[in-house]
């Protein structure tokens, strides 16, 4: 299993979020790419969900642009899974982590 976490120190400007494709397209996509690299194969199933807990101004936007917090559970061709969580604010600063769990140090 691969676990990835990404958090920014503060939410981006409203103008960046509006029309930017949302948290999955402008933030979680980088973690998805990393998980694909670590797994060495492609996803076959993805469950993704999001919510707004930080910047209430974005709640007026459509779809995933209204989310500032999100998570994904991904199943890969090899049967293994990855978990990704992203958030637009971590008061303590940037938080980027990758964890690979397995019996041989491999995903």
Q: Where are the beta strands (DSSP E) in 41-106?
A: 43-51, 69-76, 81-87, 95-100
Summarised one tens digit per residue, pLDDT across range 38-65 is 999 999 999 999 999 999 999 999 999 9
How far apart, in whole angstroms, are the C-alpha atoms of residue 77 and residue 75? 7
| 31 sits in which H/E element | helix 29-39
Q: What is the pLDDT of residue 104?
A: 77
Res 107 pLDDT > 60: no
Element (H, E) at 2: strand 2-7
Report the predicted TM-score, pTM, of the whole model to 2 decimal places: 0.90
The stretch 71-99 carries a mean pLDDT of: 96
């Amino acid at each position: 299993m691969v676990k990835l976490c990404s958090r920014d120190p503060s939410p981006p400007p409203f103008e960046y979020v509006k029309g930017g494709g949302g948290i999955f397209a402008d933030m979680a996509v980088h973690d998805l790419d990393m998980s694909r690299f670590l797994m060495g194969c492609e996803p076959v199933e993805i469950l993704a969900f999001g919510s707004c807990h930080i910047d209430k101004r974005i709640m007026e936007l459509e779809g995933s642009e209204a989310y500032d917090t999100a998570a994904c559970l991904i199943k890969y061709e090899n049967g293994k899974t990855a978990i990704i969580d992203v958030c637009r604010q971590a008061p303590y600063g940037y938080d980027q982590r990758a964890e690979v769990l397995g019996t041989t140090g491999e995903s």
